[in-house]
Amino acid sequence: MASQGAVVVIEDDADVRNLLVAVLQQSGFDVSTASTGHEGVDLVREVGPDVVTLDVGLPDIDGHEVLRQIRAATDCYVIMLTARAEETDTLMALQIGADDYLTKPFRPRELRARVAALLRRPRAQRTAPRPDVAQSESTVPLSKRAILHHDGLVLDANARVVTLEGDMLTLTRSEFELLHDLMRSAGAVRTKAELVRVVRGGGQPTDSYVSDFDQRAIEVHIGNLRRKLEEDSKNPRWIMTVRGVGYRLTPVAEGE
Identify the three-state secondary structure at position 72: helix
57 binds Ca ion (CB under 5 A): yes
| DSSP-H helix ranges across 137-239 | 173-184, 192-199, 212-229
Give the nearer residue to Ca ion in terms of CB position, either 33 or 172. 33
Identify the three-state secondary structure at position 53: strand
12 binds Ca ion (CB under 5 A): yes
122 binds Ca ion (CB under 5 A): no
Shortest distance (Å) from residue 209 CB to Ca ion: 26
Give the nearer residue to Ca ion in terms of CB position, either 82 or 172. 82
DSSP character for 251? P
Distances from the Cα of 148 to the Cα of 53, 64, 164, 182, 184, angstroms? 31, 33, 12, 10, 7
Identify the three-state secondary structure at position 92: helix
Exposure of 63 in the CB half-sphere (CA atoms within 13 A): 29
Chain residue at closest Cβ approach to Ca ion: 57
Q: How far is 250 from 188, CA to CA, in rounded Å?
A: 10
99 binds Ca ion (CB under 5 A): no
Binding region for Ca ion (CB under 5 A) out of 56-64, 149-157, 201-209, 242-250? 56-64
Binding region for Ca ion (CB under 5 A) out of 9-17, 26-34, 69-77, 171-179? 9-17
Give the nearer residue to Ca ion in terms of CB position, either 55 or 181. 55
> Out of 55, 100, 177, 231, which residue is the one contacting Ca ion (CB under 5 A)?
55
Shortest distance (Å) from residue 16 CB to Ca ion: 8
Q: How far is C-alpha 91 from the chain's CA centre?
A: 14
89 binds Ca ion (CB under 5 A): no
* Residue 15 phi, psi dihedral angles, 5° rounding: -65, -45
Give the nearer residue to Ca ion in terms of CB position, either 86 or 219. 86
Give the nearer residue to Ca ion in terms of CB position, either 57 or 122. 57
Give the nearer residue to Ca ion in terms of CB position, either 13 or 137. 13
What is the radius of gyration, based on Cα positions, of the chain?
18
| Site residues (vs Ca ion, CB under 5 A) | 12, 55, 57
